[in-house]
């Protein structure tokens, strides 16, 4: 008998209409490995995984598990074949308990009756969670759990269905540092028990930490499958982007703007959650990073500046006058690109063009006439500047890959030409090539006078983009660092943990 890998997807092809999305994809998994699936935004990773999980049907190609063809004609067929996708928290029902979520629609019954055997359901859930080594009470409501624990409940649910292959799509994107560590330990445990994991992520460092092998896709083809041991980030990036297209993610010293008057003044902000006393200024043309642990209150500060949240005390002054609510903030040129962009920033059933123009309509209308040509120019420029991968401006936002949807939301606010742009985790889900394009675009707009506040958990990103970095710790700005004086990511990491950095540099008195 020929020697087969555990899963073999060979020569998979898939087109939508006449657009080929998967051209000739080979994806092989060994039993019990953690296999990274990487590629630029729109390369075809999700499409391939949707074929594996029975959401889409392939046009041609073969899928074998242990050498035998498997039927993946719908999601329940894939489930029967032992394949499960770990969704983020959104697929659980918050008003049900952990046990009810794990066994939803498959609840154990009291023998000979149609009644749900609650005690048995709780017992089985407890066993599963114990096997995973986590301390979650099966009778807790899912709505009370942190995002990290919700993800673990998802994994328990998959294992309760006897999954042998788990697909994890950007599992750490909304996890805190501690939750990420816990997830990595869990991944190691699952692997040791023979479960095979497909791990999709744009975070290079974590791929090299926890994965055994990596497959890279580019433009609908697999271009590399290699052992991670000995592989460098540069080699992966080159495979993703093609030779000679290396992305630069370097910091530029943009000089100080200390003599300009601040456009934003945040004064003694106290919020209902965590924030005790936060004050800082931003001047036109400055890019200021806001660093802090997940849960330190960064997003709440952004919401308050944008007028979405009222402070208990303190105030936000923009261009000399207090901000009075969100519409006042928008009218006066403040833009916020939220962290959870899919939920908050996109109209999925509208085109790319509409999504970019929607918040900008007033700029492209005069006396009730929409100035189409000008609007379209802006749309095309946005698509080009941010390398949004779409067949054209009329494509529905829903049909774009996740990373490209993120770029539309960013693009629509940039197109508005705001005076203050607040970016909350600007590059979540965005590939490394696009990350550097986003950094470049933001820098160019700041050079033209836009003030920018960037919140990010990725220190590499904060280090690349910021002129100054504010460190949020214990409900206040514990340090204010001039980027020029921050020697390494390590040093910034220390500051975020609550240690004082070597060279602090108070920029305003
Ligand atoms: N239902 C669909 N109809 C038309 N085109 C689609 C559909 N689903 C995906 N596509 C297109 O297929 C291409 C590949 O998308 P896919 O979501 O697989 O990329 P990805 O590698 O997962 O990207 P990302 O890193 O951004 O999540 C994209 O150009 C996308 O627009």
pLDDT at 231: 92
* Domain end call among 208, 243, 278: 243
The answer to whether the beta carbons of residues 481 and 471 sit under 8 Å apart is yes
Give the chain's length.
509
Evaluate: CB of 50 within 6 angstroms of ligand 1. Answer: no
Residue 251 lies in a domain: no
Evaluate: CB of 44 within 6 angstroms of ligand 1. Answer: yes
274 and 192 within one domain: no
pLDDT at 467: 95
The answer to whether the beta carbons of residues 29 and 196 sit under 8 Å apart is yes
Evaluate: CB of 389 within 6 angstroms of ligand 1. Answer: yes
The half-sphere exposure of 406 on its side-chain side, counting CA atoms within 13 A, is: 20
- DSSP string of 399-416, one letter each residue: GS-HHHHHHHHHHHHHHT
Evaluate: CB of 348 within 6 angstroms of ligand 1. Answer: no
Three-class secondary structure assignment of 171-225: CCCCCCHHHHHHHHHHHHHHHHCCCEEEEECCCHHHHHHHCCEEEEEECCEEEEE
Distance 442 CA to ligand 1 centre (A): 25
305 and 184 within one domain: no
Evaluate: CB of 433 within 6 angstroms of ligand 1. Answer: no
| Spatial separation of the C-alpha atoms in residues 379 and 373, rounded to whole Å | 10
Evaluate: CB of 46 within 6 angstroms of ligand 1. Answer: yes
- The best mutation among 12, 37, 44 to test binding of ligand 1, ranked by most ligand atoms within 8 Å of the C-beta, falls on 44
Distance 502 CA to ligand 1 centre (A): 45
- The best mutation among 12, 13, 16 to test binding of ligand 1, ranked by most ligand atoms within 8 Å of the C-beta, falls on 16
189 and 321 within one domain: no
Residue 9 lies in a domain: yes
Distance 401 CA to ligand 1 centre (A): 4
233 and 198 within one domain: yes
For the CA atoms of 488, 288, 305, 259, the dihedral, rounded to the nearest 10 degrees, stands at 140
171 and 222 within one domain: yes
Distance 455 CA to ligand 1 centre (A): 27
Domain with 460, as residue range(s), is: 264-340+418-497
- The best mutation among 55, 399, 409 to test binding of ligand 1, ranked by most ligand atoms within 8 Å of the C-beta, falls on 399
Distance 15 CA to ligand 1 centre (A): 10
Query: In whole angstroms, how far apart are CA 322 and each of 151, 306, 307, 326, 476?
Result: 40, 11, 10, 12, 21
Evaluate: CB of 406 within 6 angstroms of ligand 1. Answer: no
pLDDT at 508: 42
Distance 84 CA to ligand 1 centre (A): 20
325 and 187 within one domain: no
Residue 23 lies in a domain: yes
Q: Whose CA is nearest to atom 18 of ligand 1?
A: 44
Query: In whole angstroms, how far apart are CA 373 and each of 249, 363, 378, 387?
Result: 34, 12, 9, 21
313 and 277 within one domain: yes
For residue 116, what is the domain's CATH number? Answer: 3.40.50.300
286 and 231 within one domain: no
- Our count of domains for the chain comes to 2
- The best mutation among 400, 403, 437 to test binding of ligand 1, ranked by most ligand atoms within 8 Å of the C-beta, falls on 400
What tens digit of pLDDT does each residue of 31-45 get? 999 999 999 888 999
Distance 20 CA to ligand 1 centre (A): 10
Evaluate: CB of 220 within 6 angstroms of ligand 1. Answer: no
* Domain end call among 243, 272, 296: 243
pLDDT at 245: 65
213 and 277 within one domain: no
Q: Whose CA is nearest to atom 25 of ligand 1?
A: 41
What tens digit of pLDDT does each residue of 380-399 get? 999 988 888 898 899 999 88
Report which secondary-structure segment, H or E, holds 303.
helix 298-305
Residue 249 lies in a domain: no
Residue owning tokens 């969100």? 326
Evaluate: CB of 414 within 6 angstroms of ligand 1. Answer: no
| Spatial separation of the C-alpha atoms in residues 120 and 115, rounded to whole Å | 12
Atom of ligand 1 nearest to the CA of 169: 27
Give the distance from CA 484 to its chain's centroid.
Answer: 28
Atom of ligand 1 nearest to the CA of 401: 17
Residue 375 lies in a domain: no
Q: 0.95 exceeded by the pTM?
A: no
For residue 346 the two structure tokens come to 């996109």
Distance 81 CA to ligand 1 centre (A): 24
Q: Whose CA is nearest to atom 30 of ligand 1?
A: 400
302 and 223 within one domain: no
- The best mutation among 42, 52, 351 to test binding of ligand 1, ranked by most ligand atoms within 8 Å of the C-beta, falls on 42
**Which segments of the chain have a pLDDT < 50?**
503-509
Residue 171 lies in a domain: yes
**ipTM entry:** 0.96
435 and 289 within one domain: yes
Distance 212 CA to ligand 1 centre (A): 26
The overall average pLDDT reported for the chain is 88
Distance 50 CA to ligand 1 centre (A): 10
Q: Whose CA is nearest to atom 24 of ligand 1?
A: 41
pLDDT at 503: 47
175 and 129 within one domain: yes
Residue 268 lies in a domain: yes
pLDDT at 237: 86
For residue 136 the two structure tokens come to 């979650």
The answer to whether the beta carbons of residues 418 and 448 sit under 8 Å apart is no
| Spatial separation of the C-alpha atoms in residues 431 and 404, rounded to whole Å | 9
Distance 43 CA to ligand 1 centre (A): 7
Distance 319 CA to ligand 1 centre (A): 42
Distance 390 CA to ligand 1 centre (A): 9
Distance 360 CA to ligand 1 centre (A): 26
Give the distance from CA 459 to its chain's centroid.
Answer: 15
Residue 75 lies in a domain: yes
* Domain end call among 178, 209, 243: 243
């Amino acid at each position: 008998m020929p020697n087969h890998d555990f899963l073999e997807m060979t020569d998979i092809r898939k087109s939508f209409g006449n657009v080929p999305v998967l051209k000739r994809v080979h994806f092989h998994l060994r039993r019990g490995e953690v296999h990274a699936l990487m590629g630029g935004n729109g390369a075809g990773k999700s499409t391939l995984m949707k074929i594996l999980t029975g959401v889409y049907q392939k046009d041609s190609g073969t899928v074998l598990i242990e050498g035998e063809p498997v039927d993946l004609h719908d999601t329940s067929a894939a489930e029967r074949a032992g394949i499960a996708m770990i969704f983020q928290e959104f697929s659980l029902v918050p008003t049900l308990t952990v046990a009810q979520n794990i066994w939803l629609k498959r609840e154990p019954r009291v023998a000979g009756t149609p009644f749900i055997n609650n005690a048995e359901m709780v017992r089985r859930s407890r066993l599963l969670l114990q096997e995973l080594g986590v301390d979650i009470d099966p009778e807790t409501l899912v709505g009370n759990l942190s995002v990290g624990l919700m993800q673990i409940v998802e994994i328990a649910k998959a294992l309760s269905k006897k999954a042998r292959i788990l697909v994890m799509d950007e599992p750490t994107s909304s996890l805190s540092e501690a939750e990420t560590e816990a997830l990595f330990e869990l991944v190691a445990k699952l692997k040791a028990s023979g479960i095979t994991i497909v791990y999709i992520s744009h975070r290079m460092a974590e791929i090299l930490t926890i994965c055994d092998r990596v497959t890279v896709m580019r433009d609908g083809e697999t271009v590399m499958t290699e052992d991670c041991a000995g592989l460098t980030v540069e080699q992966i990036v080159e495979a993703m982007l093609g030779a000679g297209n290396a992305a630069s993610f370097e910091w530029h010293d943009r000089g100080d703007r200390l003599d300009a008057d601040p456009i934003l003044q945040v004064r003694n902000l106290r919020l209902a959650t965590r924030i005790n006393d936060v004050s800082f200024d931003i001047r036109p043309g400055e890019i200021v990073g806001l660093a802090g642990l997940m849960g330190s209150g960064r997003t709440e500060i952004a919401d308050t500046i944008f007028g979405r949240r009222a402070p208990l005390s303190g105030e936000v002054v923009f261009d000399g006058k207090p901000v009075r609510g969100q519409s006042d903030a928008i009218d006066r040129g403040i833009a916020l690109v939220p962290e959870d962009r899919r939920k908050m920033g996109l109209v999925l059933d509208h085109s790319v063009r509409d999504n970019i123009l929607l918040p900008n309509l007033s700029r492209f209308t005069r006396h009730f006439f929409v100035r189409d040509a000008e609007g379209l120019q802006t749309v095309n420029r946005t698509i080009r500047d941010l390398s949004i991968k779409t067949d054209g401006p009329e494509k529905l936002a829903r049909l774009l890959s996740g990373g490209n949807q993120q770029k539309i939301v960013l693009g629509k606010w940039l197109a508005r030409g705001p005076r203050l742009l607040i970016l909350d985790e600007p590059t979540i889900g965005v590939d490394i090539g696009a990350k550097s394009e986003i950094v470049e675009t933001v820098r160019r707009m700041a050079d033209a006078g836009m003030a920018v506040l960037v919140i990010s958990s990725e220190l590499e990103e904060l280090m690349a983009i910021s002129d100054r970095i504010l460190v949020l710790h214990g409900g206040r700005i514990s340090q204010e660092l001039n980027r020029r004086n921050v020697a390494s990511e390590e040093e910034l990491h220390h500051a975020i943990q609550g240690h004082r950095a070597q060279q602090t540099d108070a920029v305003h008195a």
